[in-house]
Each structure stands twice: as C-alpha cells, then as structure tokens.
Structure 1
Amino acid sequence: MITQPSHVPERLGLLATSAVDPFLTEELLKGEQVHGGIDLAKVVEPLPEDDSRWWVEPIRSLVEDAMFEFREDRTRADAWLAPRLHATLRLTRREAADKRLWNHIALAVAPDYVAWRHLSEPTVNRPERRIVAERFRGPADRQCFSRLWWAAELFRNGPDYGPVADACGNQDLVHTVLRMDVIDHRPTAQALVRLLRSGLVTTGREINGLCVAISTAGATLTYDVLAPDEPRDPAALRDWIAEAESAPPVERYELPNGPDEDPVPEESVAALTGYFTELFETAPVRGRKSGD
C-alpha cells in the first residue's frame, strides 16, 4: 500500500480538475506508488492565509487515525470519518461545492487514504486491484472526501451527527441518496435514517427501491407541504465557522457537535416516516415476491 507523498503541504489549496490528470498515474491508480508532491504544489492555487480552517494537520491526523482504527474493515471508516471531517473542515455549502478543494485533499494531502479506502479487491473477472479515478476527482457522490462531507451535511440533525453515523454505515444508502435532489429536504433525510434504524430497509435492493419510490412520489407530491421544516438560521452556521480558529481537535471516541441549528421538527419526521413506510410496501424491489 502506498504511503503519503514525501511533500505534504501545510495548508489546503485549490487544485483545478484540468491539472489533476497528469498525477493520476497508473502506479497511483494501482495503489503502488504516489507522486512526490513537489510538482503538484506548483499548480495549486493557495487559499487565504488568515483563515485557520485551511491547516492540513487536523485532516492528516484524522485520516491516519481512521486507517489505524479500521484497518480490519475499511468500509466502517466512513461512518466514523464523515462527521469528524465535517466538524473539522467547517465549510459553507458554496465552499464545499468547489471541486478544486476536494481534488487537493485527495491528491496532495491524503492520496494514501484514498488508496487505502478505495483500492478494489481482486475478483475472478477483475484480478487487478485498482482505484477508480473518480475517487480522486469525481462528482460529489463519488469523490472520496466530498461524499463524506456532503453526507454529514445532509444527514445531520442540527448539531447532532448521530444520523450521519447511521447513514454512512450503509454504503448503499449513501451511494444512492446523495444523487437525489429531495435529500436536501431535512425531514426526508431524517425519515430515511429512521427507516434504516428500524430495520425495515437494509439491503441495497430495498434501499434502491425505496429511493425510486420516494423520488417518483416527490415529483407529484411536495414533501415541504406534508412535512414542513423550520427555516435555517444562517447566523448559527456563521458562528460555528468563526469558532473554527479556537475549536479543539474533534473527539475520537465521541461524536462532535455541528452548527447550533434547530433540529428537524419531530412531527415532520414522523409524518414522512409513516408515508415512506407505506411507499416501501409497494416499492419496486428486485427479487421481492408479492406478499413479502
């Protein structure tokens, strides 16, 4: 397994997608050897030096702890890392939508983590172990770090990251749901986690079937009407971001706290949980027999 580059920057930067490909070598995608880091640093746009959020060390520390703690089961690292990455890298949604930031984290800061987490296991049809390039510079639902940050952003219940850990503990849920527009509706996200916790939906086929039904119903039914949400207070997020400079490192054995926003109204979550349960009964689940 590859190690971190010999040159790891002290601060985060912006790496344009057009500049990424020369560093996605066959040796890197096979998990054999990483770039040195010096040449990559030459094409990185720096971020403002007066913002303490851009220090690399807290992120390096997190990924190194994750690789050690979950060395026997790499997929379990997602549920642990997602809330802690979100609480460490305190971003606005506009900042998080900039792919150049995630490109830089994946290639300059922690390519060894990307390889550790996403190097495929050999199979009969694909005996060569390989990392899909999208894990370094792909869309938000595929890129190694952006998918975790956005999962935490969309599934947190105000300051509570508990639903994030539950959601990210199911690979099928995160992979499917991050591509749904309706997931930005907070009661929808919390209702999905509640169904997951109840054990009603567990397998990939069940989750895919339910998500298809939710998206289809959402095209004709406005979930905002069925399950209204409270408007967010932008001041809470601004204060949380401003506190980044003095915030201690996130806890390793307890979940951190997110922005001090109001949680989702319980009556809205309960209403959607009941409605989604009814949808699931007729959802198109492959392999499910009628009457199951």
Structure 2
Amino acid sequence: MITQPHHVPERLALLSGSAADPFLTEGLLTGEQVHSGIDLAKVVEPLPDDDARWWVEPVRSLVDDAMFAFENERTRADAWLAPRLHATLRLTRQEAADSRLWNHLALAVAPDYVVWRHLSDSSRRVAAARFQGPADRQCFSRLWWAAELFRNGPDYGPVEVACGNQDLIHTVLRMDFLDHRPTAQALVRLLKNGKVTTGREINGLGVTINAAGATVIYDAFAPDEPRDPDRLRDWIEEAQTAPPVSRHVLPEGPDEDPAPEDSVAELTEYFAELFETAPVRGRKIED
C-alpha cells in the first residue's frame, strides 16, 4: 500500500482536471506507487493565503487518524470522517462545487487515503473517479456533500446514520430531492427506526421517493424554513480561530435552525407508506 507523497503541500489549492490527469498513473490506481508531489505542486492554482481554512495539516491529521482507527473496517470511516471533514473545511456550497479543490485534496494531500479507502478487493484497483470524478463518487467530495445534505442544523448525528449505509451514499446522494431538508431527515429517520435496512430496500425507496417527487411537491405539504445566510457566514469566519475537531465527540455545524419537526414527521409517515409498494428486488407485495 502506498504512503503519502514525499512532498505534501502546506495549503490546499485548486487542481484542474487536465492538470490532474498525468498523475492518475497505473501505479497510483493499483496502490503500488505514488507521485513525489513536487511536479504536481507546479500545476496548481493557489488559494488566498489569509484564509485559515486552506491549511492542510488539520485535514491530513484527520485522514491519518481515520486510517488508524478503522484499519479493519474501512467503510466505517465514512461515518466518522464526513462530519469532521465538513466541520474542518467550513466551505460554502459554491466553494464545495469546485471540483478542483477535491482534485487537489485527493491527489496532492491524501492519495494514500483514497487508495486505503477505495482499493477494490476484487480488481485490486481504485476507480479514477475516486480521485477525480463526480461529487457523489469522488472520495472526499461525497463525504462533504453527505454531511451538508444530511446535517440537521448544527447536528451531525443524522450524517453518521446516513454515511453508515453505503447504499444510501451510492444511490440516494445523487438524487435532487435531498436538497429538501425535511426529506433528508425523514429518510434518516426511516433508517434509524429500522423501517428500511437493506441495500435493496434503500435503493427501492430512493427510486420511489424520486418518482413521487415528480408529481408531489414535498415542500408544499412539508415546508422547510428558510435558512439565515448570516449564520453560515459567521460559522465560516470562526474557522480562523476554531480548534481542531474532536476525535471522540461530534463537532457542531453552523448555528442554523433544524428542519421543522412537523414536516419531518409528516414525510416520515408518507415515505413509510410509499415504501410498502416500493420496487424492492426480491420482495413480494401482498394484495
């Protein structure tokens, strides 16, 4: 298994897809050899020096701790790392939508983590999309977006539940309905209460919710409250002096109001009813 590059940058930067391509070598994708980091540092676009969020050490420390703690259960690292990555970087959605940031994190800062987490036991290879790919596939962006979409205000508890299920991340994360907070929280609640458990059930429920959303506007009968952008800005500004996130207790996200409980309860009941007829492979629907 590869180790981190010899040269790890001190600060995060932006790495375009075309600049990243030469570093996605066969040796890297098979976990046999990592680049030195020196040549990669020559093709990045720097981020502002006066922003403490771009220091690499807090993120590098997190992935090191994740690899140590979850060596024997690597998929469990997602639920631990997602909220802590989100609380450490403190990005706006616009910043998080820039794939160049995630390219740099995966290739320059922690390629060893990407290999550690995503090296396939069958093919003995890492999919290139884990380094440079869509937001729901790329190693680090998928975790940040899962934390952003499933957190309930400052509470990252639902993120742990969501990221503890790989089928939820692989399938449901790419569906647009998750941007409606009561919908995301209702889905987590169904996982917590054991109504939906297996991968097939999650996939079937996701398809059903997505299809129903084409005819039912969830926000019409389960409205969300508008979020105060000032609270997010304050939380981001606090990154300049914030201590490292705890390894033992969940951090706190932006001081935003949670999703309205009445709306979450309404959708939880509605989705439970939908699930009774969801297309779950191998399940027979009784008349």
TM over 0.5: yes
User: TM-score under structure 2 normalisation?
Assistant: 0.99
- Tell whether the 8 Å contact from 2:91 to 2:236 is kept in structure 1 after alignment: yes
Aligned to 1:77: 77
Q: Quick one: distance in 2 between partners of 1:211 and 1:234?
A: 29
- Please list every run of 5 or more consecutive structure 2 residues that lacks an aligned counterpart in the other structure: none
- The answer to whether residue 87 in structure 2 is matched with residue 92 in structure 1 is no
Per the TM alignment, residue 156 of structure 1 is displaced from its structure 2 partner at its CA by 0.1
Aligned to 2:256: 261
Aligned to 2:40: 40
* Deviation per residue, 1:102-128 (Å, 9 max, x gap): 000000000000000000003xxxxx4
Aligned to 1:132: 127
Q: Quick one: distance in 1 between partners of 2:90 and 2:285?
A: 47
Q: Quick one: distance in 1 between partners of 2:92 and 2:232?
A: 8
Per the TM alignment, residue 212 of structure 1 is displaced from its structure 2 partner at its CA by 0.7
Aligned to 2:226: 231
Q: Quick one: distance in 2 between partners of 1:71 and 1:20?
A: 28
Aligned to 1:125: none
User: TM-score under structure 1 normalisation?
Assistant: 0.97
User: Residue 140 of structure 1 aligns to which amino acid in structure 2?
Assistant: A
Q: Quick one: distance in 1 between partners of 2:52 and 2:251?
A: 19
Q: Quick one: distance in 1 between partners of 2:163 and 2:28?
A: 26
**1:200-239 counterparts in 2 under 5 A?**
200-239=195-234
Per the TM alignment, residue 50 of structure 1 is displaced from its structure 2 partner at its CA by 0.6
Q: Quick one: distance in 2 between partners of 1:34 and 1:229?
A: 46
Q: Quick one: distance in 1 between partners of 2:266 and 2:170?
A: 25
**1:186-205 counterparts in 2 under 5 A?**
186-205=181-200
User: Residue 26 of structure 2 aligns to which amino acid in structure 1?
Assistant: E
- The answer to whether residue 142 in structure 2 is matched with residue 147 in structure 1 is yes
- Please list every run of 5 or more consecutive structure 1 residues that lacks an aligned counterpart in the other structure: 123-127
Per the TM alignment, residue 291 of structure 1 is displaced from its structure 2 partner at its CA by 2.7
User: Residue 236 of structure 2 aligns to which amino acid in structure 1?
Assistant: I
* Deviation per residue, 1:15-36 (Å, 9 max, x gap): 0011111100000000011000
Q: Quick one: distance in 2 between partners of 1:20 and 1:178?
A: 25
Q: Quick one: distance in 2 between partners of 1:57 and 1:173?
A: 30
User: Residue 280 of structure 2 aligns to which amino acid in structure 1?
Assistant: V
- The answer to whether residue 273 in structure 2 is matched with residue 273 in structure 1 is no
User: Residue 14 of structure 1 aligns to which amino acid in structure 2?
Assistant: L
Provide the secondary structure at the position in 2 that maps to 1:114. Answer: helix
2:247 aligns with one of 225, 247, 252? 252
- Tell whether the 8 Å contact from 2:277 to 2:285 is kept in structure 1 after alignment: no
Q: Quick one: distance in 1 between partners of 2:150 and 2:51?
A: 27
User: Residue 81 of structure 2 aligns to which amino acid in structure 1?
Assistant: L
Per the TM alignment, residue 149 of structure 1 is displaced from its structure 2 partner at its CA by 0.1
Q: Quick one: distance in 2 between partners of 1:239 and 1:219?
A: 36
Aligned to 1:291: 286
Aligned to 2:165: 170
Aligned to 1:65: 65
* Number of matched pairs: 287
**Aligned residues with identical type, % of pairs:** 79
- The answer to whether residue 20 in structure 2 is matched with residue 20 in structure 1 is yes
* Deviation per residue, 1:4-47 (Å, 9 max, x gap): 00000000000001111110000000001100000000000000
